[in-house]
């Protein structure tokens, strides 16, 4: 896919090319994308997936259940790729945060029953290979940086908007981690200090305004108070909703987007509010990081212009000139593979730094 400058912003700087490896000279690596639902493993050469295997994380996500399954899935992927452990340079793991990439310890992710698991050391012991652990959003950012829409940049922010809002930042060619590995939680930046409480315990976070969950919540709230009839009718007519527990109809963010497209005013207003929040989030991001590139990924981004155009209008109206003029906004390139490619990229990143 061609890298696109979607919004025609001026881009005056010379990009410092950080990584321009033709994939075929890169060593083979393993990438693991550990999620609450799935363990995905690939044998990769750069962004080239040589084999991939996935398995369910399992309902019992205790480390003593999940770790053996991870080991097994790695063996299986190596087998499918026809590659021995000796032939790979290392194993990169993108795992749910919070975690400390320096120590490889996973603290207590909301979607795994883990607590201070020394993931890196456990893998080193099992495989006797270089092992690199990073939170999933940072790994995805690195994937886009090295092999996706971020190629050739040095200062970039990757923001993925789906159920939640995750992010990873590359500053001067390096992953921004902070002291304990939890930096770049851009989704949990307050933009509305008198707003609603976020799942994280904070108030008025970007995620509580512009995520898919926030869009769906606004819609269902409107229906619940009897003001979303047109939206409800649309959802029922298109059978474009989930059936959930006691709620007869749960309208999804996707339905809201479709309804907005179909001209339903309430839906348009909900998308407009999410877009406005995103705009302020982007302004903050520009003022805080002065990136040359912002890469947007995640399912909510697929709403496209109705979400992104009003957001960029706020950027144009509100951001300071220099950071605004330095920035290009582009859409992520790696799609569903970003987690795997990013996990694999951890190897190249750290082996190059060493």
Nearest distance in Å: CB 263, a copy of itself: 27
Specify which residues 94 forms β-bridges with: 33, 134
Least Cβ distance, residue 209 to a copy of itself (angstroms): 8
Residue 113 or 183: which CB sits closer to a copy of itself? Answer: 183
Distance (Å, whole) CA 133 – CA 123: 10
Residue 301: φ, ψ to 5°: -60, -25
List, in order, residues 6 or more apart from 151 with CB less than 8 Å away.
3, 19, 20, 145
Q: Is 68 exposed, middle or buried (0-12, 13-18, 19+ CB in 10 A)?
A: exposed
Nearer to a copy of itself, 201 or 245 (CB): 201
Assess contact for 60 and 113: CB atoms under 8 A: yes
Quote the least distance from Cβ 101 to a copy of itself, whole Å: 11
Q: Do residues 320 and 148 make contact, with C-beta atoms less than 8 angstroms apart?
A: no
Smallest separation, CB 313 to a copy of itself (Å):
13
Q: What is the rounded radius of gyration, in angstroms, for the C-alpha atoms of the chain?
A: 21
CB of 306 to a copy of itself, least distance (A): 19
| Closer residue to a copy of itself in complex, CB, 201/226 | 201
Binding residues for a copy of itself (CB under 8 A): 13, 98, 107, 154-155, 171-172, 174, 176-186, 188-194, 200-204, 276-277, 280, 283-284, 287-292, 317-323, 325-326
Q: How far is the CB of 158 from a copy of itself (least distance, A)?
A: 14
Q: How many CB atoms lie within 10 A of CB 64?
A: 7
Which residues face 329 on adjacent strands? Answer: 294
Give the shortest CB-168-to-a copy of itself separation in angstroms: 12
Please tell me the distance from the alpha carbon of residue 61 to that of residue 59, in angstroms, as a whole number. Answer: 6
3-state secondary structure 38-104: EEEEEEEECCEEEEEEEEECCCCCCHHHHHHHHHHHHHHHHHHHCCCHHHEEEEEEEECCCEECCCC
Nearer to a copy of itself, 209 or 235 (CB): 209
| Minimum distance, C-beta of residue 177 to a copy of itself, in the bound complex (Å) | 7
Specify the residue, 146 or 223, whose C-beta has the smaller distance to a copy of itself: 146
Q: How far is the CB of 286 from a copy of itself (least distance, A)?
A: 9
**Whole-angstrom distance, CA of residue 23 vs CA of residue 50:** 12
Q: Which is nearer to a copy of itself, 284 or 299 (CB)?
A: 284
**Closer to a copy of itself by Cβ: residue 237 or 317:** 317
Cα–Cα distance between 4 and 187 in angstroms, integer?
24
Nearer to a copy of itself, 199 or 244 (CB): 199
Lookup: tokens for 209: 């305004």
Query: Torsion angle, CA of 224/229/235/238, rounded to 10 degrees?
Result: 160
Q: Which of 66/191 has CB closer to a copy of itself?
A: 191
């Amino acid at each position: 896919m061609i890298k696109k400058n979607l919004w025609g912003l001026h881009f005056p700087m010379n990009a410092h090319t950080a990584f321009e490896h033709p994939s075929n000279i890169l060593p083979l690596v393993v990438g693991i994308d550990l999620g609450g639902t799935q363990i995905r493993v690939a044998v990769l050469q750069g962004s080239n997936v040589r084999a991939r295997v996935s398995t369910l994380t399992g309902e019992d996500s205790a480390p003593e259940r999940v770790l053996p399954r991870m080991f097994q899935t790695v063996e299986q992927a190596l087998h499918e790729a026809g590659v021995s452990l000796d032939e790979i340079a290392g194993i990169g793991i993108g795992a749910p945060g919070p975690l400390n990439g320096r120590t490889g310890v996973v603290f207590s992710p909301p979607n795994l029953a883990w607590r201070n698991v020394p993931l890196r050391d456990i893998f080193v012991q099992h495989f006797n290979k270089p092992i690199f652990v990073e939170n999933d959003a940072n790994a995805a950012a690195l994937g886009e940086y090295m092999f996706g829409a971020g190629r050739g940049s040095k200062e970039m922010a990757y923001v993925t908007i789906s159920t939640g809002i995750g992010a990873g930042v590359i500053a001067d060619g390096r992953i921004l981690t902070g002291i304990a590995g939890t930096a770049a939680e851009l989704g949990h930046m307050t933009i509305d200090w008198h707003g609603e409480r976020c799942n994280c315990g904070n108030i008025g976070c970007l995620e509580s305004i512009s995520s898919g969950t926030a869009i769906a919540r606004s819609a269902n709230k409107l229906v619940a108070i009897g003001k979303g009839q047109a939206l409800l009718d649309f959802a029922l007519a298109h059978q474009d909703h989930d059936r959930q527990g006691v709620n007869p109809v749960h309208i999804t963010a996707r339905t809201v987007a479709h309804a907005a497209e179909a001209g339903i005013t309430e839906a348009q207003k909900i998308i407009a509010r999410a877009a406005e929040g995103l705009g302020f989030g982007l302004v903050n991001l520009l003022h805080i990081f002065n990136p040359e590139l912002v890469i947007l990924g995640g399912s909510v981004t697929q709403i496209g212009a109705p979400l992104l155009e009003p957001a960029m209008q706020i950027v144009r109206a509100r951001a300071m000139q220099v950071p605004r003029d330095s920035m290009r906004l582009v859409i992520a390139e790696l799609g569903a593979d970003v987690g795997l490619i990013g996990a694999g990229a951890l190897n190249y990143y750290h082996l190059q730094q060493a």
